[in-house]
Structure 1
Amino acid sequence: MPTPKTWFITGVSSGFGAALADLALEKGDKVAATFRKPEQAEEFTRKAGENSRGLVCDVTDEAQVKTVVADAIAAFGRLDVIVNNAGYGSLGSIEEVPAGEVQRQFEVNVFGPLHVLRAVLPQLREQRGGHVLNVTSIGGLKTFPGVGIYNASKFALEAIGESLAQQVKPLGIHVTNIEPSGFRTEWAGASATYAETHIEDYQSTVGENLRGIQDYSGRQPGDPVRAAQAMYDVVQQDNPPLHLPLGKAAVKGAREKFESILKEVNEYAAVGEGADYPAGE
Structure 2
Amino acid sequence: MVFGEQRQPADSEHARLAVAADGEVVAVFVGDAADASIAVEAAVERFGRIDVLVNSAGASFKGFFEEMSPEQVDRQLAANLVGPMNVTRAVLPVMRRQRSGHVIAISSGAGLIGFEYSSVYAASKAGLAGWMSALSAEVAPFGIHTTMVYPGFFRTGLASAASLVWPEVSVDDYAERSAAQRVWWESQDGQQVGDPYKLAAALVTIAEEDPPPRRLIAGADVIALAERKIAELQVDIAAHRSLSESLTFDD
What TM-score results when the alignment is normalised by the length of structure 2?
0.92
Shift in CA distance, 269/211, structure 1 to aligned 2, threshold 3 Å: farther
For 2:83, the aligned partner's letter is G
For 1:215, the aligned partner's letter is S
For 2:57, the aligned partner's letter is A
Matched, 1:163 2:134: yes
Deviation digits for residues 214-233 of structure 1 (CA, Å, limit 9, x no counterpart): 22221010000111011110
- Please, which of 219, 226, 233 is the counterpart of residue 247 of structure 1? 219
For 1:212, the aligned partner's letter is W
Greater mean deviation of Cα atoms: 89-98 or 263-272: 263-272
Whether the aligned pair in 1 keeps the contact of 2:99 and 2:144 (CA below 8 Å) is: yes
Local SS of the residue matching 1:54:
coil
Take 2:12 and 2:25, find their aligned partners in 1: how far apart are those partners? 7
Take 1:46 and 1:222, find their aligned partners in 2: how far apart are those partners? 22
The Cα of 1:123 is off from its aligned counterpart by 0.7
* Alignment: residue pair count: 249
Matched, 1:257 2:224: no
The Cα of 1:261 is off from its aligned counterpart by 1.1
1:25-104 equivalent positions in 2, closer than 5 A:
35=9, 39=11, 44=16, 47-48=19-20, 51-104=22-75
Whether the aligned pair in 1 keeps the contact of 2:7 and 2:58 (CA below 8 Å) is: no
Any unmatched runs of 5+ in structure 2?
Answer: none
For 2:226, the aligned partner's letter is A
Local SS of the residue matching 2:247:
coil
Whether the aligned pair in 1 keeps the contact of 2:69 and 2:168 (CA below 8 Å) is: no
Greater mean deviation of Cα atoms: 73-82 or 54-63: 54-63
Shift in CA distance, 98/255, structure 1 to aligned 2, threshold 3 Å: same
1:32 — aligned with what? Answer: none
Local SS of the residue matching 2:67:
coil
Which portions of structure 1, spanning 4 or more consecutive aligned residues, are displaced by more than 3 angstroms? 43-46, 196-211
Shift in CA distance, 209/274, structure 1 to aligned 2, threshold 3 Å: farther
Deviation digits for residues 70-96 of structure 1 (CA, Å, limit 9, x no counterpart): 010010000001000110111100001
- Please, which of 240, 243, 251 is the counterpart of residue 271 of structure 1? 243
Deviation digits for residues 165-199 of structure 1 (CA, Å, limit 9, x no counterpart): 11112221111111111111111212110117844
Take 1:265 and 1:204, find their aligned partners in 2: how far apart are those partners? 36
2:98 — aligned with what? Answer: 127
Take 2:4 and 2:39, find their aligned partners in 1: how far apart are those partners? 11
The Cα of 1:12 is off from its aligned counterpart by 5.7
Give me the CA root mean square deviation: 2.1
2:76 — aligned with what? Answer: 105
Any unmatched runs of 5+ in structure 1?
Answer: 1-5, 14-34
Local SS of the residue matching 2:54:
strand
The Cα of 1:208 is off from its aligned counterpart by 4.1
1:202 — aligned with what? Answer: 174
Shift in CA distance, 196/219, structure 1 to aligned 2, threshold 3 Å: farther
The Cα of 1:64 is off from its aligned counterpart by 0.8
The Cα of 1:47 is off from its aligned counterpart by 2.6
1:180-219 equivalent positions in 2, closer than 5 A:
180-189=151-160, 190-195=162-167, 198-202=170-174, 207-219=179-191
2:2 — aligned with what? Answer: 7
1:117-156 equivalent positions in 2, closer than 5 A:
117-156=88-127
